[in-house]
């Protein structure tokens, strides 16, 4: 059974920074791409960022490009999302997910496993 556990969410002021993490267990973490998604109240879950199995390839939603950085440490089975210049409209539950393949995807259907999410609240 694959488990993904996010942490690091919280309350941050607009313009601030936050790093969230996701630890994986139960599968060969280093062979799969990983992604971050978010879901705001009343909205659909949306793609934020993804990283390939060895970290050589990354992809970002246009809305976060230049402000967010995804990274991974395969020795620690952990993927990170460093978020900067946060905006109130980015308040959401942030989810990490494990892809079915080593390469990045934006489509939710490409991901086989999901964490329970971590709340990020950006105050104005």
- DSSP summary character for residue 15: T
Q: What is the pLDDT of residue 9?
A: 98
Residue 53's Cβ-count burial label (10 Å; 0-12, 13-18, 19+) is: buried
Q: What is the pLDDT of residue 70?
A: 98
Distance CA 37, CA 43 (A): 12
Q: What are the beta bridge partners of residue 18?
A: 83
Q: What is the pLDDT of residue 74?
A: 94
Q: What is the pLDDT of residue 28?
A: 83
Q: What is the pLDDT of residue 66?
A: 98
Q: What are the C-alpha distances in Å from 44 to residues 5, 40, 41, 108, 116?
A: 21, 7, 8, 11, 16
Q: What average pLDDT values come out for the chain (124 residues) when binned by 10 residues?
A: 93 98 89 96 97 95 98 96 98 96 95 97 97
């Amino acid at each position: 059974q694959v488990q993904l556990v996010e942490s690091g969410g919280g309350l941050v002021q607009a313009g601030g920074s936050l790093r969230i993490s996701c630890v994986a267990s139960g599968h060969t973490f280093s062979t799969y791409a990983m992604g971050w998604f978010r879901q705001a109240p009343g909205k659909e879950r949306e793609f934020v960022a993804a990283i390939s199995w060895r970290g050589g390839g990354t992809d970002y939603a246009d809305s976060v490009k230049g402000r967010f950085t995804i990274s991974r440490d395969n020795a620690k089975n952990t993927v990170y999302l460093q978020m900067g210049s946060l905006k109130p409209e980015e308040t959401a539950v942030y989810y990490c997910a494990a892809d079915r393949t080593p390469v990045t995807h934006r489509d939710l259907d490409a991901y086989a496993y999901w964490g329970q999410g971590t709340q990020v609240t950006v105050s104005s």
